[in-house]
Amino acid sequence: MIATLAGFAMFVLMTLAFRVLEPSGSTFRIWSSQAPRLSLPSTSVTPRPGNPSSSRLLLTGAEGNSSSAAAGVVDHSVNFGRDRDGVYGKTFRQRVRNMGIEEVLTAPQSPWQNPYAERLNGSIRRECLNHLIVLNERHLRRILRSYFDYYLHSRTHLSLDRNSPIEREVEPPDRGKVIAIPQVGGLHHRYCRAA
């Protein structure tokens, strides 16, 4: 049996015009020896922090996992790790329960109990948003799309033997010299060999 653990975390960001935005990331970790990689199916941005609509992100991802299980593709159960934020209201908890997802609450003020989601949010801040000025919601969505493309296809992870979540091909030296391809608006680079 493969268990899927969904971790969810949110943070607040100010734009150039001092508007408050709430980007949130949802990480889904599949625990099995065949698929030990971290996947990031979706992210969300809302201009109203605490708005329950921002919680649709988890539900959308979990419904996708549930539909694949219903089709007989994967036999698994979903556990949802979250903190005690008020954004998870009664309606949200009821929807999660109706989907057959087990909620796992972290202890108060214990972000280490939701490590994948908190690590992802920390990476988003340290590697991306701390270096940029966000203009508006649309700009933030574009930045996050670009960052997650980099995160999944190019960024190396020590836990993945210095590979990215979507595996990269090893390029031998006889393929040519190494070139840098700018990503995330030049904030990061992917290095590959020019043929």
Residue 14 lies in a domain: yes
Degrees to nearest 5, angle at CA 145 with 140 and 149: 145
What is the model's pLDDT at position 97? Answer: 81
Residue 61 lies in a domain: yes
Residue 116 lies in a domain: yes
What is the model's pLDDT at position 68? Answer: 38
Residue-wise pLDDT tens digits, 111-126: 888 777 788 888 888 9
Q: Does residue 179 surpass a pLDDT of 90?
A: yes
Q: Does residue 18 surpass a pLDDT of 70?
A: yes
Cβ burial, residue 115 (10 Å; 0-12/13-18/19+): middle
Residue 188 lies in a domain: no
Is pLDDT larger for residue 53 or for residue 151? Answer: 151
**DSSP H helical segments within 30-80, as ranges?**
56-70
Cβ burial, residue 34 (10 Å; 0-12/13-18/19+): exposed
Domain count, the chain: 1
Residue 185 lies in a domain: no
The domain of 31 spans 2-170
Regarding pTM above 0.75, the answer is no
pLDDT exceeding 90 applies to what percent of the chain?
18
What is the model's pLDDT at position 146? Answer: 93
Residue 195 lies in a domain: no
What integer is the mean pLDDT of 26-41? 47
Q: Which residue has the tokens 């109706």?
A: 98
Residue-wise pLDDT tens digits, 49-58: 555 554 555 5
Residue 143 lies in a domain: yes
Residue 193 lies in a domain: no
Residue-wise pLDDT tens digits, 70-83: 333 333 466 777 78
Beta strands in 47-168 (DSSP E): 76-82, 102-105
Q: What is the CATH number of the domain that holds 105?
A: 3.30.420
Cβ burial, residue 76 (10 Å; 0-12/13-18/19+): middle
